[in-house]
Amino acid sequence: MLVVDDDNGQRTLLKTMLSKEGYEVDTAEDGDLAVKAAQRMPYDVILMDGFMPSKTGWEATTDIRADEIAKGVEIANRCAIIGVTGATSKEDEEKCFESGMTDVISKPVKRENLIAKVMQWTQGKEAARASKKAEVVVSADNSAAGSPQRSIVAVVYDTDKANRVVLKGILKVIGATVDFADTHADCMVLMATKQVDMVLLNTELESIDFMFTIAEIRKIHNMRVANLMPIFAISASKDPSRLVREGFTAVFRKPLDRNGIKETVLKYLVPSEKAVAGGAAGCNSPEHLALSRQSCGPSSAPDIVGARENEEKVVRVLIVEDHWANRRLLETMLRKQGSEFLMEAVENGQEAVHITSARQYDIILMDCNMPIKDGWQATEEIRQMAGPNKMTPIIAVTANAMKGDREKCMAAGMDDYISKPVDRKRLQDVLSKWVSHSVGSGE
C-alpha cells in the first residue's frame, strides 16, 4: 500500500489503520514523491489525496497511469488508486475518475469503510481478470490482422456533458480510449475511420432515430469484422427491456452506476469461441441485433444496469450544503426514511445552479448560508432558468428561525423550510408534503 497525503496526521492515521489489518504501508507527502514511489514499486493500492502542493493527486494519478501504459502493464496488474477527498459533489468524484482513479472515499475516513474499499480492490479480482482477457482478445485480433497492439476504442454518442465525464472516467480505468459524437453524422464518421470495439448511445437525445443509428453502425462494422460489437443504451426509460429487444446489447440506466457499467462493458468485450466462430453465420443478422458478443443465443436475462424494481417510487434528492457533517446527517436521515431516496450532494449554490440546469430532481434541500453563492441566490437563479427544476420544491435548511428569515426564504422562491438542527420527524413531514411519492416511516 502507498498512502499519499501532505498532512502528516492524515498519513499517520491511514497508515495505522492499514497496518493493524496486516498491510505493508509506505507513505509519500506529495504527488511528485507518489509518482516516483509508484515507478519503483508495483503497489496493489494507492490512497491518493487530492489537493497537495507541488503536484496534486489528480496530476499524480494521470502520471502514474501514463507510466503504466508506457511500460505495457496489463490492466489486471495496474494498481488501484483510491481518491481520498473531503468533497462529496458529483463534479469532484468525476474529476477523480477522469484522472484515472479507480474509486473514491470521503474524509473523515472511517476504518471500516477504508478496509472495505481496500479489500474490494485487493481481493476482488474478477473484474481485473475479465479486463486482462479483454486486452488479450484485442491483442490477438490485432496480431491476426498483422497490426500492432492497440487500445480498446469506445464511441460515446451523447451530448450530455455530465454523462461524458462519468463515462470517460469509467472507460479510462479499463484502458479504453474514448471518442465522442454529437450527431449521427459524427458517429458514422468515427465508425468508418476507426476500429471501434463498442458504442454507447444516449437514446434520449433530441431528433435521434436510434433504430436507424444502430442499423447503420452494424452495417459499417460488419463490413470489416464478423464478431457482433456491443452497443449499449444510456437511458432513463421505464421499459429498458424494450431497448434490448430493439437491438441494444445492454442498458445503462440513469443515474449511471460506475461499477455496474464497468463490469458489464468488460463482460461483453470478451467474446466466446462460439460467438467468434459463428459471427458470420447468423449472429449479425437483423433479428440477432440484441445479442452480445458472448453468445449467439437469445438473452434470457438482459443486462439492465442501474434498474430498480420499484422505479416509480424513486425520489431524486439534491442536497446543497457546504458542511460535510450536515450533508452526511441529511443523507443518513433520508436513508432511514426509505430505500427509494436517490441522493446527490453539492457544496455551494453555484454548483447547485449548474447541476440543476441539466438534471431533474424531485426535491432540493438547500442550505442558506454558503460561500461563493448562498442558497437564496441559487434558488432565485433556479427559478429564473428554463431548466428541468423550475418548479421543483426547494426546501430551505436554515439555522435562522426568525420570522424575517423565513420570509426571505419564501421571497427567494423556496417552498418550505426546516430549521437546524434538523429534526427527523420534521424532515419526514416536509418530504411527505412536497414529494408525490409515499415516504417510509423511518422506523
Domains of the chain: 2-123 (3.40.50.2300), 126-305 (3.40.50.2300), 311-434 (3.40.50.2300)
How far CA 306 is from CA of 169, 251, 259, 313, 373, in Å, comes to 17, 9, 10, 14, 33
C-alpha grid cell, residue 109: 475516513
How far does CA 337 lie from the centroid of its chain?
25
Residue whose C-alpha cell is 426509460? 237
Among residues 100, 103, 94, the alpha carbon closest in space to that of 354 is found at 94
- 74 vs 72: CA distance, rounded Å: 6
What strand order describes the sheet that includes 315-320?
341-346, 315-320, 363-367, 394-398, 416-419
Kindly tell me the burial class for residue 313, based on how many C-beta atoms sit within 10 Å of its own C-beta (0-12, 13-18, 19 or more).
middle
Helical pair 258-268 and 161-173, crossing angle rounded to 10 deg: 60
**Category of 203 on φ-ψ map: left (φ > 0), alpha (ψ -120 to 50) or beta:** alpha
Amino acid at 183: T
C-alpha grid cell, residue 87: 468533497
Considering the entire predicted model, what is its pTM? 0.38
User: From first to last of its 443 residues, what are the pLDDT tens digits of the chain?
Assistant: 999 999 888 899 999 989 888 888 999 999 999 999 999 888 889 999 988 888 899 999 999 988 888 888 877 678 889 999 876 566 777 788 888 888 888 888 888 888 888 887 776 444 444 444 444 444 545 544 444 456 789 999 998 887 888 888 888 888 888 999 998 888 998 988 888 889 999 988 877 788 888 888 888 876 666 557 889 999 877 667 778 777 788 888 877 777 788 888 888 775 433 333 333 333 333 333 333 333 333 344 456 665 444 444 678 888 898 887 788 888 888 877 765 677 788 888 888 888 888 778 889 999 888 888 888 899 999 988 877 888 899 998 887 655 567 778 888 888 888 888 888 888 888 888 888 643 443 44
Among residues 13, 14, 12, 56, the alpha carbon closest in space to that of 33 is found at 56
- 162 vs 254: CA distance, rounded Å: 11
Among residues 239, 253, 246, the alpha carbon closest in space to that of 291 is found at 246
Among residues 126, 100, 112, 120, the alpha carbon closest in space to that of 34 is found at 100
